[in-house]
A and B are shown apart, each in its own frame.
Chain A
């Protein structure tokens, strides 16, 4: 099992460009999450999904959109990238039972120039 796979691993964008980050999990988990990690701020939840076809806003959703067309995939989109979106992005998934751990991918390092 690969677990949670994120692509790409690194990307550099210019301000105003758009891109999509892909997260794929092979554990048949119902819940999926997108976080951003910035120095000194821990991980902050951007958007999450509790099942195929559903999405919801997290703590810092502005400037991002998400889609979950298939249970195993969760896409994070930046329509018009801004330097403030320079960060490391992590995807996670977990089962919909109580007290289950979240399983994380290895992140996408995104720089916006």
Chain B
């Protein structure tokens, strides 16, 4: 089955700096890659996603890039703010054949220092 590896496990940045989280996946049939943010005591919430026919997607300070050949995708957060501090998860799915089942990475604890 699919395996998703996520790095780093923890990331500490100063407010205003950029943060990058990277994930690799094993199954070339995966075609949908969402990113979730989880705040303390809450469930994960989707912040951005990308399909395999797109190389990059941006939403304000957040961007995701996908390299299908290398089977890796990354989350980029620019101008970080303290409220960006949370746990971030990448995931992969084979849309159209797997009933939306997601395989998650291990998570990255992001801390933004004021």
Contact = CB atoms under 8 A, between A and B. Distances in A.
Contacts, number: 62
Interface residues of A, number: 27
A101 B49 contact: yes
Contacts of B51: 99
A102 interface: yes
Interface residues of B, number: 27
Contacts of A101: 34, 46, 49
B1 A59 contact: yes
A42 B104 contact: yes
B106 A41 contact: yes
A43 B100 contact: no
Contacts of B107: 40, 42
A74 interface: no
Interface stretch (B37-45, B64-72, B78-86): B37-45
28 contacts: A31-B100, A40-B9, A40-B106, A40-B107, A41-B106, A42-B89, A42-B104, A42-B106, A42-B107, A45-B101, A45-B102, A50-B99, A56-B99, A59-B1, A90-B44, A94-B100, A96-B99, A96-B100, A98-B32, A99-B95, A100-B100, A101-B49, A102-B34, A102-B46, A102-B100, A102-B102, A104-B44, A107-B42
Question: Which 9 pairs show the lowest CB-CB distances between chains A and B?
Answer: A104-B43, A42-B104, A101-B46, A43-B104, A98-B95, A42-B106, A106-B43, A50-B99, A104-B44
Interface of A: 4, 31, 33, 40-45, 48, 50, 56, 58-59, 90, 92, 94, 96, 98-102, 104-107
Interface of B: 1, 4, 6, 9, 32, 34, 36, 41-46, 49, 51, 89, 95-96, 99-107
